[in-house]
């Protein structure tokens, strides 16, 4: 079994894999990690749905992929994760054409943005990163069960260590807003979602994982100034981090989570650098997963809250 790590790329991870006949959805696939994830999977035979906010940019990404992957089987669908109506419309359209899904990769996200709200009035980062993907995953769950053994991969982040979810103040109505506290809450929610999705659907053949892709220069950091990005890199180097990754390295753990047979039986795990992360409470470490992001009781409570907020309860 090959050993993968921090410097492994998508092509390293997928070497020898034949994904022909597998249907995979990648959200946020018009650029960055999402586009590279879609390219790598298509290059190994998967039929990939690029779920994007902007159809023009999504179609441009599909053309870039086709230019490098002859015969790539791609389709582009529109979904704005900050709008529950848009999520429902995408799911309805997709399920009208496909009865089964092999992998759903919840890749899209926003980071450290100014305080704002989604179309439905939720704090932007919690509403987009968590609630939009939560609704999408639950709506597509019957197709994931139909495609079992199947997987759901949700991008979390080391940012989960910045803050736990707040089940009583998800909209920052009683606490001061801070961009990275909001990001931490949302990324913790992504990890907790994997824990509870696994509990609910693991027995039906669907495994869920959360992923820390590493530090990568992508559009995700568009709300950060050059000085803030430089300070983040300097802090990483000071704390012994491995340095920032290229985009193919950053997408590697996502495709590993989607395809690695050695992950069977480990559903609910938090992954980084193409391995299952160690649970640690050491806040000085830039790796590992904090216990609050794997708390089963918190995961169940977050699911109940999320159902109510998106209108599924």
Task: Give the pLDDT confidence score for residue 216 in this predicted structure.
Answer: 87
Give the pLDDT band of residue 144 (cuts 50, 70, 90): very high
Q: How many CB atoms lie within 10 A of CB 265?
A: 8
Q: Which of 83, 137, 150, 156 is catalytic?
A: 156
Residue 227 scores a pLDDT above 80: no
| Residue of 187, 245, 298, 306 marked active site | 187
pLDDT band at 283 (very low <50, low <70, confident <90, very high): confident
pLDDT of residue 1: 53
pLDDT tens digits for range 118-134: 999 999 999 999 999 99
pLDDT of residue 225: 55
- Which residues face 49 on adjacent strands? 25, 75
Handedness of CA 93, 29, 84, 290 (dihedral sign): positive
| Pair 63, 105: CB distance under 8 Å | no
Tell the CATH topology of 10-308.
Answer: Rossmann fold (3.40.50)
Mean pLDDT for the chain? 93
Q: Is 156 a catalytic residue?
A: yes
With 80 as the cut, is the pLDDT of residue 41 above it?
yes
What pLDDT, on a 0 to 100 scale, did the predictor assign at position 241? Answer: 54
The mean pLDDT of 193-203, rounded to a whole number, is: 98
The arithmetic mean of pLDDT across residues 279-298, rounded, is 94
Quote the pLDDT of residue 221: 45
Which is the catalytic residue, given 158, 183, 201, 270?
Answer: 183
pLDDT confidence tier of residue 284, bands split at 50, 70 and 90? confident
pLDDT of residue 217: 72
SS3 24: strand
Annotated active-site residue 183? The verdict is yes
CA nearest neighbour of 139 among 254, 306, 265, 23: 306
Phi/psi at 47 (nearest 5 deg)? Answer: -90, 115
pLDDT bin (cut points 50, 70, 90) of residue 220 is low
pLDDT at 242: 60
Which of 78, 74, 9, 25 lies closest to 45, judged by CA? 74
| pTM metric for this prediction | 0.93
Taking CA atoms, 230 is separated from 105, 114, 161, 225, 235, in Å, by: 29, 19, 20, 9, 9
Rounded-to-integer distance, Cα 211 and Cα 59, Å: 26
> Is a pLDDT exceeding 80 seen at residue 183?
yes
Q: Give pLDDT, residue 238.
A: 42
Catalytic residue at 187?
yes
Peptide bond into 220 cis (omega under 30): no
Tell me the pLDDT tens digit for each residue of 235-258. Answer: 444 434 567 899 999 999 999 999
Region for 26 from its dihedrals, namely left if φ exceeds 0, alpha if ψ lies in -120 to 50, beta otherwise: beta
């Amino acid at each position: 079994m090959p050993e993968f790590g921090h410097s492994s790329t998508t092509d390293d991870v997928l070497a020898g894999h034949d994904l022909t006949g597998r249907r995979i959805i990648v959200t946020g696939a018009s650029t960055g990690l999402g586009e590279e994830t879609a390219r790598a999977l298509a290059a190994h035979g998967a039929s990939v749905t690029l779920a994007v906010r902007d159809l023009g940019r999504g179609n441009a990404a599909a053309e870039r992929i086709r230019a490098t992957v002859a015969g790539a089987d791609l389709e582009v669908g529109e979904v704005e994760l900050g709008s529950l109506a848009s999520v429902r419309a995408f799911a309805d359209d997709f399920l009208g054409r496909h009865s089964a899904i092999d992998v759903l990769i919840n890749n899209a996200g926003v980071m450290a943005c100014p305080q704002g709200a989604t179309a439905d009035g939720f704090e932007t980062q919690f509403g987009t990163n968590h609630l939009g993907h939560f609704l999408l995953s639950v709506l597509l769950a019957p197709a994931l069960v139909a495609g079992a053994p199947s997987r759901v991969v949700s991008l979390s982040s080391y940012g989960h260590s910045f803050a736990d979810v707040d089940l009583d103040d998800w909209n920052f109505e009683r606490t001061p807003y801070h961009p990275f506290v909001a990001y931490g809450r949302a990324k913790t929610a992504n990890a907790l979602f994997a824990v509870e999705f696994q509990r609910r659907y693991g027995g039906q053949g669907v495994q869920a994982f959360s992923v820390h892709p590493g530090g990568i220069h992508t559009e995700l950091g568009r709300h950060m100034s050059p000085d803030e990005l430089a300070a983040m890199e300097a802090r990483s180097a000071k704390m012994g981090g491995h340095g920032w990754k290229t985009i193919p390295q950053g997408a590697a753990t996502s495709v590993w989570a989607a395809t690695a047979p050695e992950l069977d039986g480990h559903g609910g795990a938090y992954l980084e650098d193409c391995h299952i992360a160690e649970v640690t409470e050491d806040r000085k470490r830039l790796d590992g997963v904090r216990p609050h992001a794997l708390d089963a009781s918190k995961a169940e409570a977050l699911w109940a809250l999320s159902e109510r907020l998106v209108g599924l309860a």
